[in-house]
Structure 1
Amino acid sequence: MAVKEHDGDVIFLHEVRRGAADRSYGVQVAKLAGLPEAVVSRARVVLDALEKGEREGGGAQKALIDDLPLFAATPPPAPASMRRSEVEARLEDVLPDTLSPREALDLLYELKGLADRAG
C-alpha cells in the first residue's frame, strides 16, 4: 500500500504496491481509528523510545518495552459534577413567549440577583 506522511498525519494513497512499507504506520492508523488522543500520544512516545533504542544497539529493548507500557497514559479527568445552578433551575420553568415586558424585566432582575449570590 502506498502511504504518504504529512505534518504527522498519514495519508493512505489509493494504490497497492508490491513489497513492504518503509516503516510502521500503526500509530497513525490508531489515530484514524479513533483511539483516545492520550493513547495515541503515549504510543508515539513508546515508538520513539523503541526506535531510539534500536538505533543505539537494541539490546535493552525488552526492558524498554516493560518500562514504557502503552496504556500508562493518564486518562482524561472525569467530568465535573453537573449540578444545576439556581439560575438554571429558575429558567427551567420560564416560558419567554408568555411573559409581559414587565414580567420579563422582573425576571431578569431576579436572575441577576441569583447569579450575584452564587458567584
Structure 2
Amino acid sequence: KVASPPAEEVVQLMLPEEEAGPVRETPWAELQLGEWDTRVDVPGDPDSVANPVMQGLMEEMAQHIVQEDVKAYEKGLDEGLPNGYGKMIIEEWQDGLKKITMRIFWQPEGVDEQTFEKTFFIHEEAGYGE
C-alpha cells in the first residue's frame, strides 16, 4: 500500500474507505453535532462540551496525528505534522444524514498553517455501529 501524506493518513485511520472505522462505528446518537477540536475536546478537559464518546474519538484522532508526525519524521519523507491538531465538524445535513468534515492542521517552521480537509456523509440507517 502506498503511504498517503500524514494528514490524509490520519483521516483514513478515523474514516477508512474500505471498512467502518472509529467514526462510523460510533452510535448515531453519540455523533454529537458541533465543531470538535483535538486541543480541547478530550477526556478531562473542563472546557469541553463534547460528550464522552466524542472526547474519546478526538483523543484517538490526536494520537493518530502524533503517530503520523513521528512516522513521517522517522522516514524523513515528509515534513510530518508539526504543531498538528484536528477538527471534526458534525452537521445535520438532512433527516437521517450527518455531514462529517475532518480537518487536519499543521504548521511547518516558517510556513503558513497547512490544512487537509475531507468530507463524509453518514446515514443513520447505515448500521455500522451495531
Which protein has the bigger helix share?
1
Is TM-score (shorter-chain normalized) higher than 0.5?
Answer: no
Report the TM-score when normalising by structure 1. Answer: 0.24
Which protein has the bigger strand share?
2
Which of the pair has the greater relative contact order for Cα pairs under 8 Å at 6+ separation? 2
